Amino acid sequence: MKENVLLYLSGFGASEIIVMFMFVALPAVLWLWAIIDLVKRNFADNATKVIWALVIIFIPFVGSILYLVVGRSKPVNS
């Protein structure tokens, strides 16, 4: 009986928890990772950084993936 209670949290079953993780938690983690990485990195000019920030903010999931794949490869090392 206890095993069933652990899988039934707040009215959600195991499958609902997995789906919520895939569609809520994972994109949120990618978004935060992209924002934090963007703030820490140096770019050739501030316009590039602002454009990436706008892309990440206004297109959260796709923008985060684009930044992590494409944008991270173009910082300026100082």
**pLDDT at residue 42 is higher than 70:** yes
Q: How many domains does the chain have?
A: 1
Domain membership of residue 50 (yes or no) is yes
Task: Give the per-residue pLDDT at 55.
Answer: 95
The pTM assigned to this predicted structure is 0.71
Please indicate, yes or no, if residue 78 is contained in any of the structural domains. no
Residues of the domain holding 55:
2-73
> pLDDT of 12-25, one tens digit each?
777 887 887 888 88
In angstroms, what CA-CA distances link 45 with 5, 12, 20, 74? 54, 47, 38, 11
Q: Residue 10 — left, alpha, or beta (φ > 0 → left; ψ -120 to 50 → alpha)?
A: left
